[in-house]
Amino acid sequence: MLVSFRRIIKMGWKEFSRNMGLSMATIFIMTMVISLATMLFILNPVSKKIVSDVEKRVDVSVYFEEDALEQDIIDAKTEIARIPEVKEIEYISKDQALEIFIDKHKDDPVLIESLTELGYNPFFASLNIKAWSPSQYEQVANLLETGSFKDIISKVDYYQRKSVVEKVFALTDGVNNIGLFLSVILGLIAILIAFNTVRIAIYNSEEEIATMRLVGASNSFVRGPFIVQGIVIGSIAALITFVITFALSYGLDVRLSSLAPEISIFNIFLSNLFLLLLIQLAVGIGLGVISSCIAIRKYLRI
Amino acid sequence: MISIQKVSKIYPSRTNQEPTCALDNVSFDVGEKEFVSIVGRSGAGKTTLLKLILANETPSKGNVIFGGKDVHQIKKSQLSCLRQRIGVVFQDYKLFNSKTAHENVAYVMEVMGADEREIQRDVPQILDLVGLGDKANNFPDELSGGEKQRVGIARALIHRPDVILADEPTGNLDPYHTHGIIELLVKIYSMGTTVILATHDKAVINKLGKRVITLENGKLIRDEEKGRFIC
């Protein structure tokens, strides 16, 4: 048993090294397939990060009447914070609102000058509310309008932004769905390409497989070396992809850091280093072995 | 040892034409340590008969008995055991192109689970026997037709099978190499192995002077102890 196992490994390795041209072509295709799987793996957290960044920017603002007392607003804040749909609530006083405006527009002298000419603080105190999920904003807005503090509310800045908010969420949902759809389609294409490449490689050995059976080799003795070749090809392709991913994510990170500093592909790569290597090896070896087994099955019926 | 009992083989047509009858109610026995030649024109059914013995084809009717067992009742997973008792020589050699002459011959021993020492001892011996001791490390595409066939014979012989099936082993060879291969088969026979030789080479058969079974259009028309090739 052990002798056969050793022989199968030796034969698989010899077949691999003696058919270097075909082995290299299969490794090349496998590398592309594993790269695709890796790309989907890395792009998934990137797209999730983009979507969550967009979602973070959405909130409901409640502006209070000019004569509303700060204590009443803080009471309202406490009451709103009790609403289960509310995730985060932040109080911005009139003065803070002015500071934020000045800080934001300090490079625009016309705006700053007109504010000085106005002679008073035109901003309202407000509460910025974030809900747990996008669908809860409408409920929160409704609750605000029916709460005990409704008399001191000047306006709820949700209905004005409702269509924009809905569009943003439709877009993020779309990105997620398209991502999932593309992952499935590309994954299927990748599997088919890998399978057909291995199938063509084995098709060349059709006659030899038949001869092996006719000279008394058992199915497992015939199949074994092809599976070993599948494992070798899958592993080499996975390791090549790993090196390419390392180089690409580092290179892209340097270029993207000025565009989107909060998204670091290289960090995603580093924090998932072992998982990524495992996935790449699993995809490579899995595809190699499964494709070999399916492709060879047809020729073992002799 | 081998008993062909009322065997017929009909290949269905793929194009709505008449099915082809490759063998029609053929019966004969082959005893131990016998040299039998099966002769006939191309398409007479010689190769089909050998394929049936090897369980590479199933008969439409009849039975093929080998060592007391109907070979077509043997499970697919057990076929390798039957085939390990048979050595096959093919007209087109069917060598493994990515293996050297030594590895081609050693493959059969590896299949049978022989240990490495045995392989290293027996393979050079058998290659010497077929006159290829110095070509052990050559790949098939570095060998001539005659040399390839001698590797094929060495491969068929290495595990000391009960019977050797040789399907037109000289079909692709010139007269010089043909003579060498037939001499080798006779040598194997004289060492105690049953040989079934399928051929349409008149000169070979007439020179052998051994049992000849003649097939014509799938029918057995002659079975003579010291036969000759009669068209």
pLDDT of A21-64, one tens digit each?
888 988 888 888 888 878 877 777 777 777 777 767 777 888 88
Tell me the C-alpha distance between A92 and A181, whole Å: 42
Residue that is written with structure tokens 């670091």 in the block: A264
Which has the higher per-residue pLDDT, B214 or A189? Answer: B214
> How many CB pairs lie under 8 A apart between chains A and B?
58
| A15 and chain B in contact, CB less than 8 A | yes
| Angle between helix A206-214 and A219-256 (nearest 10) | 150
A190-213: average pLDDT: 83
Q: Which of A19, A207, A215 sits opposite B83 (nearest CB)?
A: A215
B65-85: average pLDDT: 89
| A219 and chain B in contact, CB less than 8 A | yes
> Which of A47-61, A80-94, B21-35 shows the highest mean pLDDT?
B21-35
Answer yes or no: is pLDDT of A160 > 70.
Answer: no
Could you confirm whether domain A59-160 is CATH 3.30.70.3040? yes
Residues ≥6 apart with Cβ < 8 Å to A299: A202, A205, A206, A209, A210
B110 contacts in chain A (CB < 8 Å): 4, 7, 11
What whole-number percentage of chain A has pLDDT above 90?
A: 8
B116 contacts in chain A (CB < 8 Å): 3
Which has the higher per-residue pLDDT, A98 or A265? Answer: A98
Tell me the C-alpha distance between B221 and B231, whole Å: 11
B90 contacts in chain A (CB < 8 Å): 211
B162 contacts in chain A (CB < 8 Å): none
B218-228 pLDDT, tens digit each: 899 988 887 67
According to DSSP H, which parts of chain B are helical? 46-53, 79-83, 101-111, 116-129, 145-157, 175-190, 202-208
Beta bridge partners of B89: B166
Answer yes or no: is pLDDT of A161 > 90.
Answer: no
ipTM confidence: 0.86
Is B96 within 8 Å of A208 when comparing Cβ atoms?
yes
- Which contacts of B219-224 are long-range, i.e. CB under 8 A and separated by 24 or more positions? B219/B24, B219/B25, B219/B26, B220/B26, B220/B27, B220/B28, B223/B28
Residue B107 C-alpha, separation from nearest chain A C-alpha, in angstroms: 9
Q: Where are the domains of chain A?
A: 2-54+166-299, 59-160
Confidence of residue A258 (pLDDT cuts 50, 70, 90): low
Residue A192 C-alpha, separation from nearest chain B C-alpha, in angstroms: 28
Please tell me which residue of chain B has the smallest CA distance to A16: B98
Tell me the C-alpha distance between A16 and A292, whole Å: 13
B97 contacts in chain A (CB < 8 Å): 208
A138-153: average pLDDT: 78
Answer yes or no: is pLDDT of A262 > 80.
Answer: no
B99-128: average pLDDT: 92
Which pTM value belongs to this model?
0.71
Q: By CB neighbour count within 10 A (0-12 exposed, 13-18 middle, 19+ buried), where does B13 fall?
A: exposed
Tell me the C-alpha distance between B99 and B102, whole Å: 8
Tell me the C-alpha distance between B208 and B182, whole Å: 9
B183-189: average pLDDT: 87
Confidence of residue B100 (pLDDT cuts 50, 70, 90): very high
Q: Which two tokens stand for residue B131?
A: 């006159």
CA distances to A47, A130, A165, B166, B203 from A133, rounded to whole Å, are 18, 9, 12, 78, 92
Residue that is written with structure tokens 């000025």 in the block: A258
B118-145 pLDDT, tens digit each: 999 999 988 988 888 899 999 999 999 8
